[in-house]
Amino acid sequence: MDCLKCKDLSGALESRHTQYVEARSSAYYHVSTELAAKKNVDMERARYDLQEHRAVCASYAERKLLG
Ligand SMILES: [Zn+2]
């Protein structure tokens, strides 16, 4: 059974990661250093949210058991 919240949170993490990579690879590196740092914080927060949810998500636990 798929959990919508898991899907939402991992989608959010994925897009934060994309934004972080884009900020880091920006041509305007002197401008983007601070931006990349902010994106990194956003990404870590999204990762934390996902982990927090997975810790209490029955659907995720079940999927992990099934492999
Ligand atoms: Zn879930």
Ligand 1 ion local residues (Cβ < 5 A):
3, 5-6, 57, 59-60
* pLDDT: which is higher, 3 or 24: 3
Is-contact 42 20, C-beta < 8 A?
A: yes
Residue 5's pLDDT is what? 97
How many C-beta atoms lie closer than 10 Å to residue 38's C-beta?
14
State the distance from the centre of ligand 1 to the C-alpha of 23, rounded, in angstroms. Answer: 29
Residue 53's pLDDT is what? 97
* pLDDT tens digit sequence for 14-50: 999 999 998 888 766 566 788 889 999 999 999 999 9
> What is the maximum alpha-carbon separation in the chain?
47
State the distance from the centre of ligand 1 to the C-alpha of 13, rounded, in angstroms. Answer: 14
State the distance from the centre of ligand 1 to the C-alpha of 48, rounded, in angstroms. Answer: 14
What residue ranges do the domains of the chain occupy?
A: 4-66
| CA angle (60, 45, 6) in 5-degree steps | 20
Question: pTM higher than 0.85, yes or no?
Answer: no
Burial class (CB in 10 A: 0-12, 13-18, 19+), 67: exposed
